[in-house]
Amino acid sequence: MASDGSLAGRVLVVDDDEDIQTAARLLLGRHVERVVGCATPDSILPALAEHRIDVVVLDMNYRTGDTSGADGLSWLDRIQVQHPEVVVIAATAYGSVDVAVEAMKRGAIDFVAKPWQNEKLVATVRAALAVARSRAASPPAAGPPPEDAKLFRAPAMLELLALVRRAAPTDANVLLLGENGAGKEVIAREVHRQSSRADRAFVSVDLGSVAEALFDSELFGHRKGAFTDAREDRAGRFQAAAGGTLFLDEIGNLPLRLQAKLLTVLEQRVVTPVGDHRAVPIDVRVIAATNLAPAQLADPAVFRVDLLYRLNTVTLTVPPLRARPDDLQVLADYFARLFARKYRRDVPGVTTTAIRMLLAYPWPGNVRELRHAIERAVIMSSGGPLREGDFQLGAVATAAGSPGAAAGPDAPELLNLEDIEKGAIERALRKHTWNVSHAARELGLTRASLYRRMVKYGL
């Protein structure tokens, strides 16, 4: 977190117009930790490596007179392959909706039209940084597929992957159940990878972070002038996923009123952008995910039964990490090598004694929490395989007020405001098994505010 309260995160602006670079640096420099500019695409990969970039604002055209976006799309693909953790925003010429939609199909999180509106660019970058933090808090779903990487060895996961192989080639909608952080998006991407739509877009939407007022615009798109800030046409997520897969994460957080809108779209297979009277046909496969228990989903006061029937043609349950001890060592070693490369540390893996300690821990935050723990251990390690002393599981649980750990009369009184805030955040995250939306609601924060504090305190 920068001293002036700006968002923690680093942004790379790629544009061959130096005036645009300068304008972006001056504007975004007031809102983010650091802004880096480069004029040619050849500088992108070195800049990503040198500055540990979180978000790239990528111009789509670099040759005079060329408006096809081919150069930008090619570099978008390279970024996706070599730096899947980086979030990309496509910057297009005003009105180049087709290029913007193609960029989103290939993995861009959003787009801005040039010349941009300052408020629009800042809001888009803020949202992209939230996505970057979310990716950093989840297993590398965009990395090698589970079977090739051999990340899953537990019988329960092997059985789940066998079900994926059967369901993926069909076009059936899939509902993924499981605790937060267990790896539902990894499985969703594996369903897409093994489907007939694998060469088309996989578009992910975190419904827990979509404000009710923006639901229609985000999912169905809008036309220029539809509302005050609608300064250009925008494709919704359904259109961006055309021919591919739309992943609706945290669908259990969707209010009943919005569930009804989603049901209508799934039944009629058309969307109507805000400000338009014409319905647009859609061809997407829907994969939805929730951490709600089956009993909660069956409660009509929580979730519409007719929508549930539309989504659960195939239901797959991702088991929690504590039920997958065979996976833990493989994942721990994988994350240790991943973060050793990222932070340039000599950490070849995890010792046997440390693995035994990790196996004894219940992992309420599942794979997401394991990833956090390994990253922190790599950062604090003095080199060599990670040992028990490199982890802070017991200290974190105590500071976070783990169940049964009531403060005794001799417990030190915490008066440091940052320590108190960090402890409250950790308690809320653990209480809600690392569901950021639910924890933020209990803390009285927005998801973005909670993400900023999680980054600040290394959570």
Query: Could you tell me which of 114, 136, 110, 139 has the C-alpha nearest to residue 123?
Result: 110
pLDDT of 391 > 60? The answer is yes
Instruction: Say which CATH architecture domain 326-403+414-456 belongs to.
Output: Orthogonal Bundle (1.10)
Query: What's the rounded mean pLDDT across residues 336-363?
Result: 89
pLDDT of residue 447: 67
- Give the separation between CA 330 and CA 98, rounded to whole angstroms: 42
pLDDT of 239 > 70? The answer is yes
Calculate the CA 151 to chain-centre distance: 20
pLDDT of residue 147: 39
Query: Could you tell me which of 433, 434, 437, 432 has the C-alpha nearest to residue 448?
Result: 437
pLDDT of 414 > 70? The answer is no
Could you tell me which residues come within 8 angstroms of residue 233 by beta carbon, excluding any fewer than 6 positions away? 95, 97, 221, 222, 223, 224, 273
C-beta of residue 274 within 8 angstroms of C-beta of residue 226: yes
Q: What is the pLDDT of residues 98-109, one digit of tens each?
A: 787 778 777 788
pLDDT of 141 > 60? The answer is no
- Of 28-37, 237-246, 412-421, 444-453, give the lowest mean pLDDT range: 412-421
Give me the chain's average pLDDT, please: 81
C-beta of residue 154 within 8 angstroms of C-beta of residue 330: no
pLDDT of 9 > 50? The answer is yes
pLDDT of residue 225: 66
Q: Give the best-scoring range by mean pLDDT among 3-17, 307-321, 361-375.
A: 307-321
Q: What is the pLDDT of residues 375-389, one digit of tens each?
A: 889 988 888 899 998
pLDDT of residue 289: 95
C-beta of residue 48 within 8 angstroms of C-beta of residue 11: no
- Of 5-9, 44-48, 172-176, give the lowest mean pLDDT range: 5-9
pLDDT classification of 143: cutoffs 50, 70, 90: very low
Q: What are phi and psi of 112, to 5 degrees?
A: -130, 145
pLDDT of residue 52: 84
pLDDT of 136 > 70? The answer is no
- CATH classification code of 146-319: 3.40.50.300
275 vs 408, higher pLDDT:
275
The superfamily (CATH) of domain 7-136 is: Response regulator (3.40.50.2300)
pLDDT of 164 > 70? The answer is yes
Kindly give the interhelix angle for 366-380 and 325-343, rounded to the nearest 10 degrees: 40
Q: What is the pLDDT of residues 245-289, one digit of tens each?
A: 999 999 998 899 999 999 999 999 998 888 777 888 989 999 999
Q: What is the pLDDT of residues 279-322, one digit of tens each?
A: 889 899 999 999 998 889 989 999 999 999 999 999 999 999 99
User: Identical fold at 146-319 and 326-403+414-456?
Assistant: no
User: And the tokens for 247?
Assistant: 């992943």
pLDDT classification of 405: cutoffs 50, 70, 90: very low
Q: What is the pLDDT of residues 28-83, one digit of tens each?
A: 988 888 899 998 888 898 888 788 899 999 998 887 666 778 888 888 888 887 78
Domain residue ranges of the chain, discontinuous segments joined by +: 7-136, 146-319, 326-403+414-456
pLDDT of residue 11: 94
Strand 280-281 relative to strand 270-271, pairing: antiparallel
Query: Could you tell me which of 296, 106, 109, 286 has the C-alpha nearest to residue 188?
Result: 286
Query: Could you tell me which of 269, 305, 312, 268 has the C-alpha nearest to residue 289?
Result: 312
Query: Could you tell me which of 15, 65, 22, 80 has the C-alpha nearest to residue 41?
Result: 15
Query: Could you tell me which of 350, 372, 346, 348 has the C-alpha nearest to residue 359?
Result: 350
- Give the separation between CA 236 and CA 390, rounded to whole angstroms: 45
Query: What's the rounded mean pLDDT across residues 351-380?
Result: 90
pLDDT classification of 229: cutoffs 50, 70, 90: low
β-bridge mates for residue 247, sequence order: 204, 287
Report the percentage of the chain scoring pLDDT > 90. Answer: 27
pLDDT classification of 358: cutoffs 50, 70, 90: very high
pLDDT classification of 459: cutoffs 50, 70, 90: low
Q: Is 177 helix (H, G, I), strand (E, B) or coil?
A: strand
pLDDT classification of 160: cutoffs 50, 70, 90: very high
Query: What's the rounded mean pLDDT across residues 114-139?
Result: 76
pLDDT of 412 > 60? The answer is no
pLDDT of 337 > 90? The answer is no
